[in-house]
Structure 1
Amino acid sequence: MASKLISGGLFAIAFLGCLVNAQLDTNQTAQNIHDPQPQTPATQSQNTQSKSHPDTQNRRSSCVVEQQNKIQCGAPGTSATVCNALNCCFDGTMCYYGKYVTLHCTKDAQMIVIVSKDATIPNLDLESVGLLSKTGNCSPVATTSAFAIYQFPVTECGTVMSEEDGVLTYENRMFSQYEVELGPRGAITRDSFFDLSIQCRYTGSTAEALLLEMNILPSPYPAVGFGILNVELRLANGQCHLKGCAEEDVAYSSYYRDSEYPITKELQDNVYVEVRMLGRTDPNLVLTLGHCWATSKSNPLSRPQWDLLINGCPYREDRYQTKLLNVGSKLMFPSHYRRFAFQMFTFVSTGAADPSKGNQVTQTADTVNPTYEKVYIHCNVAVCQPSTQYNCEPRCFRKRRDIGESKTFTSRQEDRTVSSQEIQFVALSQSV
Structure 2
Amino acid sequence: MTGWVKVVAAVVCCTNVLGALKWGTRPQHLTRPVTYAEQPQWWPQQVIQRPVDSTPIEKCQVKEEERITCGTPAITIVQCEAINCCFDGWRCYYAKVVTVQCSRDGQFVVVVAKDTTLPNLDLDSISLLGGQDAPCKPVGTTTAFAVYQFPVTACGSTLMEESGYVVYENSMTSSYEVGIGPRGSITRDSHFELLFQCKYSGTAVEVLIVEVNTVAPPAPVAVPGPIRVVLRLASGQCYNKGCVEDLEAYTSYYSEADYPVVKVLKEPVYVEVHILRRTDSNLVLNLEHCWATSTPSPLSLPKWDLLVDGCPSQDDRYLTNVIPVAGSSGVVFPTHYKRFVVKMFTFVDAHTLAPLKDRVFIHCSTEVCYATGNHSCQQSCNRQRRDVAVVKSLDGETTVVSSGELILT
Residue 140 of structure 1: aligned partner? 138
Name the CA distance, whole Å, in 1 between partners of 2:139 and 2:50: 30
The match for 1:231 is 229
1:379 maps to 364
Distance 1:218 1:157, change over 3 A: farther
Q: Using the alignment, how far apart are the partners of 1:301 and 1:7 within structure 2?
A: 26
CA distance in 1, matches of 2:59, 2:313: 38
Q: Does 2:388 match 1:409? A: yes
Bigger Cα Rg: 2
Per-residue Cα deviation, 1:43-88 (whole angstroms, up to 9, x for no partner): 9689x8xxx6xxx759x92111111110011123534333223321
Look up the SS of the partner of 1:335 in the other structure.
Answer: helix
Match of 2:187 in 1: 189
Q: Does 1:102 align with 2:99?
A: yes
Which residue number corresponds to residue 261 of structure 2? 263
Report Cα offsets for 1:110-155 as digits up to 9, x if no partner.
1110011111111111111011113651000111111111111111
What is the deviation of 1:272?
A: 0.6
The secondary structure found in structure 2 opposite 1:274 is strand
Secondary structure of residue in 2 paired with 1:352: coil
State the one-letter code of the partner of 2:97: Y
Following superposition of structure 1 onto structure 2, how do residues 54-69 of structure 1 map, counting pairs within 5 Å? 57=55, 61-69=58-66
In the TM superposition, residue 183 of structure 1 has moved relative to its aligned partner by: 0.4
CA distance in 2 between partners of 1:57 and 1:114 (Å): 18
What SS is found at the alignment partner of 1:351? coil
| Residue 251 of structure 1 pairs with residue 236 of structure 2 | no
Q: 1:91 to 1:340 in 2, by over 3 A?
A: same
Counterpart of 1:328 in structure 2 is 326
Distance of 1:87 and 1:223 partners within structure 2: 45
1:123 to 114, 120, 126: 120
Q: Secondary structure at the match of 1:243?
A: coil
Q: 1:293 to 1:189 in 2, by over 3 A?
A: same
Q: SS of the residue aligned with 2:58? A: coil
Partner of 2:317: 319
Note if contact 1:199-1:210 (Cα within 8 Å) is conserved in structure 2: no
> Helix, strand or coil for the counterpart of 1:127?
helix
Q: Which residue of 2 aligns with 1:299?
A: 297
Distance in 2 of aligned mates of 1:45 and 1:23: 24
Question: SS state of the match for residue 384, structure 1?
Answer: strand
CA distance in structure 1 between the aligned counterparts of 2:45 and 2:232, rounded to whole angstroms: 51
Calculate percent identity across the aligned residue pairs: 43
2:401 aligned counterpart, secondary structure: strand
Question: What's 2:38 paired with?
Answer: none
Cα root mean square deviation, aligned: 3.1
1:351-379 Cα shifts (integer Å, max 9, x gaps): 135xxxxxxxxxxxxxxx21124211111
Instruction: Show the counterpart of 1:366.
Output: none
Alignment of 1:16-35 (within 5 A): 17=14, 18-20=16-18, 21-25=20-24, 29=28, 31-32=30-31
Q: How far off its partner does 1:225 sit?
A: 2.3
Q: Is 1:423 the counterpart of 2:402 in the alignment?
A: no
> Where does residue 87 of structure 1 map in the other structure?
84
Query: Structure 2: any 5+ residue segments left out of the alignment?
Result: 34-41
Q: 1:217 to 1:268 in 2, by over 3 A?
A: farther
Deviation of residue 26 (structure 1)?
8.9
Alpha-carbon distance change, 109 to 41 in structure 1, aligned in 2, over 3 angstroms: closer
| Kept after mapping to 1: 8 A contact 2:392/2:399 | no
Q: Which runs of 5+ in 1 are unaligned?
A: 354-368, 427-432
Distance 2:355 2:250 in 1: 31
